[in-house]
Amino acid sequence: MKQFVVIVISYWLLACGESTQTQNQLQPSPDSTQFYPIASFFENQMTIIPTMKKNMLIFHTKDGKKDSTLLNATTFQELVKEFIAKDITDGDTKKHYRETVFQDAATNSYTLSYTAVDTTVTVKGMEILLDEQTNQVKRVFIRTVYRQGTTSIMEQHNWNTAKGFQIIRSFTNAQGYTTNELTEVQWEEIKNLE
């Protein structure tokens, strides 16, 4: 009988421990939370920047080889669409994320952080830095992880409103061999981009 009581108490303690862990796990933001409309921001940038008639350069590095050229508007738009595709604001997607807001005195920014609470989603996290005075986007950082066949792909999309953006990809095959690829777009600094 003592063994039975010890077993029951052990199961009960384990069950209590599991419920405590579940309560401490990151939960999604409430449905009423308004996520920053990042797709609209990128769509606006895709329209504005080419009309500013600024020189845009693209730098591509893969397997240790570097190449650069002037970037045309069509290729620019294709690259920006990669950022738009990472949008997490629609109702079916946003339920997988938790939003936190942090005021960063060092950068005079508000940082909106979106963290995946569901490990199966592709976009693992996103940070948007807004200027404290104007609430305009200063920078955006998006992290994604996904698989193509037997290859694991990690991406980091970085946007600097005044200067350009980067897309960094790391490909790891089934044998553990990793290759990296960097695409960087730069333009002359443009003031007051909205």
Sheet holding 56-62, edge to edge: 65-70, 56-62, 178-187, 164-172, 151-160, 137-148, 123-131, 109-116, 97-104
Q: Within 10 Å of residue 155's Cβ, how many Cβ atoms?
A: 20
User: What was the pLDDT predicted at 28?
Assistant: 53
Listed by start position, the domains of the chain span 28-187
Tens-level pLDDT at each residue, the chain (194 residues): 444 433 334 333 334 443 333 334 565 555 546 899 999 999 999 998 888 867 899 999 998 899 999 999 899 999 999 999 999 998 889 899 999 999 988 889 999 999 999 999 999 999 999 999 999 999 999 999 999 999 999 999 999 998 899 999 999 999 999 999 999 999 876 555 44
How far apart (Å, rounded) are the C-alpha atoms in residues 61 and 168?
10
User: What was the pLDDT predicted at 149?
Assistant: 94
Q: Is residue 145 a contact partner of residue 156, using CB atoms and an 8 Å limit?
A: no
User: What was the pLDDT predicted at 98?
Assistant: 93
Q: What is the pTM of this model?
A: 0.80
Residues in the chain: 194
Q: Which residues contact 182 (CB under 8 A, 6 or more apart)?
A: 59, 60, 61, 62, 166, 167, 168, 169
Q: Per DSSP, which regions of 18-163 are E strands?
A: 56-62, 65-70, 97-104, 109-116, 123-131, 137-148, 151-160
